[in-house]
Amino acid sequence: MSIKNRILRKFGFKKDQNGIINRYLRENGGWQSHLINTKNFIEHSAKAKEKETCVILGSGWLLDVPVDNLNEIFKKVYLVDIVHPKQIIHKYRKYKNIEFIKVDISGYIKPVYDFIKKNRKTKTSLNQIVQQFPDDFNKLMNNASMIVSVNILNQLDILICDYIKKYEMYSDEEINNFRKIIQQKHIDLMPRNKSCIITDYEELNYDDNMNLINKKSLIYANLPKGKAIREWKWNFDFSKTYHNNYKTVFNVMAWDL
């Protein structure tokens, strides 16, 4: 069940991924400590796992993934994303142990697209939308030795809910409830004792003198209890292109499930 590029374009996935690399370059080294912290956490978490297969969910540009190290210690590494940058495919296509999987990790993109198309006039509850995964993806998750959700938990709902919002059919409350469902299902998908999650969970906006002006939570789901919890800050946008007047920092948390 591969999703047509036309649908992915409508949701803006390719554009969003290009936005990530452009912001990373624009921030000129500002992301470095966040990327190193993420890689270190993944490497540390890998130590206690069996070393057959490692699945990276949200691999993208591999900015925050210690892929060369994982390639050495695991027999097979699966890089999973809805779009893989062609530069990354080109760079790693000769590595026998690395495989690219193109799949919707949320399981909601195609169901939401079909649902809106069918129910545009009726306004059926968003709770009726049924998550769908290809069988291969379920197998991959069940058989993996280690699964990493890498800076994706609070991303999964954004483009899907932006798409729903365009139709102006649902209140903020209804949409936020659906965000919660998307995030909760992602957490529930991660098998216990062999998974880890790294996610930004809070956005902090500062003025030029680094006075905190406002903050908001980015997580709608209930975060599960974790082991080996680590926290740090990600200087996400100091060029003021995310919010015109503010510098934006994310609080990030990483933990083993």
Ligand X SMILES: C[S@@+](CC[C@H](N)C(=O)[O-])C[C@H]1O[C@@H](n2cnc3c(N)ncnc32)[C@H](O)[C@@H]1O
Nearer to ligand X, 13 or 255 (CB): 13
Q: Which stretch binds ligand X (CB under 6 A): 76-84, 141-149, 212-220, 241-249?
A: 76-84
Q: If you ran DSSP here, which 8-state letter would residue 224 be given?
A: P
Binding of ligand X at residue 17 (CB under 6 A)? yes
Binding of ligand X at residue 149 (CB under 6 A)? no
Binding of ligand X at residue 7 (CB under 6 A)? no
Out of 3, 10, 12, 20, name the contact with ligand X by CB under 6 A. Answer: 20
Dihedral of CA 3/95/197/151: which sign?
negative
Q: Which helix (H) or strand (E) holds 218?
A: none
Tokens of 191: 């098998």
Q: Are 103 and 137 contacting, i.e. CB atoms less than 8 angstroms apart?
A: yes
Within 10 A of 128 (CB to CB), how many other CB atoms are there? 9
Out of 8, 67, 105, 141, name the contact with ligand X by CB under 6 A. Answer: 105
User: Residue 211: CB partners within 8 Å, gap ≥ 6?
Assistant: none
Out of 42, 53, 54, 60, name the contact with ligand X by CB under 6 A. Answer: 60
Closest separation between CB of residue 244 and ligand X, Å? Answer: 22
Q: Where are the alpha helices (DSSP H) in the chain?
A: 5-11, 13-26, 32-47, 67-73, 86-92, 109-119, 135-143, 158-166, 172-189
Output the residue with the shortest Cβ distance to ligand X. 60
Binding of ligand X at residue 62 (CB under 6 A)? yes
Q: Are 199 and 217 contacting, i.e. CB atoms less than 8 angstroms apart?
A: no
Binding of ligand X at residue 152 (CB under 6 A)? yes
Binding of ligand X at residue 199 (CB under 6 A)? no
Nearer to ligand X, 15 or 227 (CB): 15
One-letter-per-residue 3-state SS of 231-244:
EEEEEEECCCCCEC
Closest separation between CB of residue 24 and ligand X, Å? Answer: 8
Q: Which stretch binds ligand X (CB under 6 A): 80-88, 89-97, 170-178, 231-239?
A: 80-88
> Where does this chain bind ligand X (CB under 6 A)?
13, 17, 20, 58-65, 81-83, 104-106, 109, 150-152, 155-156
